[in-house]
Each structure stands twice: as C-alpha cells, then as structure tokens.
C-alpha cells in the first residue's frame, strides 16, 4: 500500500467537521436543475462532514438496539475530522427482535445516497461513493453484515468497499439469535468477495452487570463469532476493561441515554474506548480506501504509542 500524508488516528484529524440533520423537511444545499427533483432521505440522517472543499469517502454507521444516532456524534466527528463523510440513519424508534425492517431500510438508504446525498451536502463537499464503508454497532453491526451478505432479500446497487462491525451482536445467546440469524456457526462462512472487514470487540461486553439481564454482547453471538466466520482480509481487535456502550457520547440525553450507563458493564469512562474505536476505524479506512497503511501496521505491530486502551486480543486473516 502506498504512503500518503498521515496523522495520529486516535486524535482529531486536520479537517474541521460539522454535524447536519437531514430529513423529509431538509432543503438541498446545492441548487442545480437536478437538485430540485432530488428526493428526501428515506430515514432521518445525522451527517458528519468536513467543511473544507474536497472529495471524501462515505461511511454509513448503523446504531445499536433502541439507541439514537445522536449518541454517536463524538465518534462521528472524530472519524470525519480525518477526511470522511459519516452518515448515521435513525432506523427506528421502537423495534422488536426482528431486524428485517432495518435490513430493508439500510439497503434503501444506500441506494438513496447515489441520487440524493450530494445535493444535501455543503456546496464545496463531494461524496466519493466509489469508496463506501458500511459499519454498525451492536444490532446495527449485525444489520451491516446482513446487508453485505445479500442473503435476506434486500440489497443495494452501491458497492461496499469495506465492512466494519463495532461489537456486533446477533441475539441474546447461541440458539437465541434474533431473526433473521446472520451467524451460521461455520468458520470462514461469510462469502463477501474479499471485502476487507474490521471487527472491534469490548472486553467487558460478555460480563453481566445485572443478574436479571443477559450481558450486552453475549458469548456465542458477539464479535468473536462474527470474526470467526469472516474470510480475509479481516482484522479483529478487543479492548480490555471497556464495555459494549463505551464508544457512545459522554452525555447521552433522555431515558435511553441515561439507561446506556446502567444496562451494560462499563469502563471507568467513555473517552478512551471512543478514541480507540475512532482511531481503529480511521486507520482501517486509510489503509483499505486510501492506500495508507502506516497507522494500521503500527497498531498491529504494537508500536503505536498513542493507543488509548490496552488491546486484550488481536487477530488478522489475510
């Protein structure tokens, strides 16, 4: 992979980024003949975009179960500051165990990106959809894999360049997967045509906080099994002493925001895990979308001085 300008991925990058909210009432920023007929997004979207003129890869981030996309604002701004446009749809407000509607909505939003996104971004910003990453956290990670696998009747014409699972979860335990099940329990069974994959796990995700509830990332349906079913190239990192929701914003408002501190076993604070997740995502995207693997190689070799957490486990399939 080639060398290009680099910056510490675990800290903010060089690009100033802003947050935008797009919904059915949003107006196009770019007034052109085609923009007047541009459709509104199928779901409300939170967008983190650099404000400087440029052409930027696009990353979609799917939220976890019963969480709001706004809970990921700090993570999104971190990644965006390194030269990426982040798109986080609000897939639902209330949902049962079945994820088919989320799979369908994700595919619809991906198709909308090609015809609509450019018209709603600042005039000087251009999305480069030939470099598109699909990512998701928790149940959103499962949804991202489901869309990429194209097994469930809904897919998009937009090519997925890289796939990222942030502590992905497929149910409450082995044999208790949420429909439709994504994990097949066969090693290397995910046939994704050599799409590069990053899987990030939390060391405390398998630990129960309350004996009345299962752990937030139960054994048998969490990051380990997702990685075990990947084909290469695939990377797997696990952060020691941090929990399933520790990459969310420090201040998550409302009842759901408050409960995010109570439902899962957590680390002492969120910032280190959020920086770890953001830095890994940036390093992975730089390597596989932009040909600059210096940060990722330093992390792999254990010689990156700025990793904000202790890496409990690391595996790679090439």
Do 265 and 245 touch, CB atoms closer than 8 A?
no
Helix 271-290, helix 73-80: angle, nearest 10: 40
145 vs 192: CA distance, rounded Å: 9
Do 84 and 56 touch, CB atoms closer than 8 A?
yes
Q: Which helix or strand (DSSP H or E) is residue 276 part of? A: helix 271-290
Residues classed as catalytic: 138, 167, 244
DSSP 124: T
Residues 6+ apart with CB under 8 A from 7: 13, 14, 82
111 class by beta-carbon count within 10 Å (0-12 exposed, 13-18 middle, 19+ buried): middle
Residue in 228, 236, 278, 266 with CA at minimum distance from that of residue 76: 278
In the chain, DSSP finds a helix count (H) and a strand count (E) of 8, 9
């Amino acid at each position: 992979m080639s060398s290009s300008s680099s910056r510490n991925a675990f800290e903010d990058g060089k690009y100033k980024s802003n947050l935008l909210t797009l919904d059915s009432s949003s107006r196009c920023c770019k007034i052109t003949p085609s923009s007047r007929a541009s459709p509104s997004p199928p779901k409300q979207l939170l967008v983190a975009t650099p404000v400087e003129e440029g052409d930027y890869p696009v990353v979609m981030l799917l939220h976890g179960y019963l969480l709001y996309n706004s809970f990921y604002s700090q993570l999104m701004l971190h990644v965006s500051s390194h030269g990426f446009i982040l798109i986080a749809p609000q897939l639902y407000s209330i949902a049962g165990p079945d994820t088919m509607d989320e799979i369908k909505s994700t595919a619809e939003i991906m198709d909308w990106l090609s015809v609509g996104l450019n018209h709603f971004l600042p005039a000087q910003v251009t999305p480069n959809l030939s470099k598109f990453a699909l990512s998701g956290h928790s149940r959103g990670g499962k949804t991202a894999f489901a869309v990429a696998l194209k097994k469930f009747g809904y897919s998009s014409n937009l090519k997925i360049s890289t796939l990222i699972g942030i502590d992905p979860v497929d149910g409450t335990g082995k044999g208790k997967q949420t429909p439709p099940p994504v994990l097949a329990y066969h090693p290397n069974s995910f046939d994704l045509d050599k799409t590069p994959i990053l899987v990030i796990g939390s060391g405390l995700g398998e630990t129960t906080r309350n004996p009345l509830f299962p752990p937030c990332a139960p054994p048998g349906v969490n990051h380990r099994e997702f990685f075990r079913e990947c084909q290469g190239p695939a990377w797997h990192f696990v952060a020691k002493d941090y929990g399933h929701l520790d990459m969310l914003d420090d201040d998550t408002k409302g009842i759901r925001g408050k409960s995010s501190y109570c439902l899962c076993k957590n680390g002492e604070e969120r910032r280190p895990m959020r920086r770890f997740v953001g830095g890994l995502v940036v390093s992975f995207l730089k390597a596989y979308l932009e040909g600059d693997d210096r940060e990722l190689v330093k992390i792999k070799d254990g010689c990156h001085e700025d990793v904000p957490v202790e890496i409990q486990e690391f595996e790679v399939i090439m």
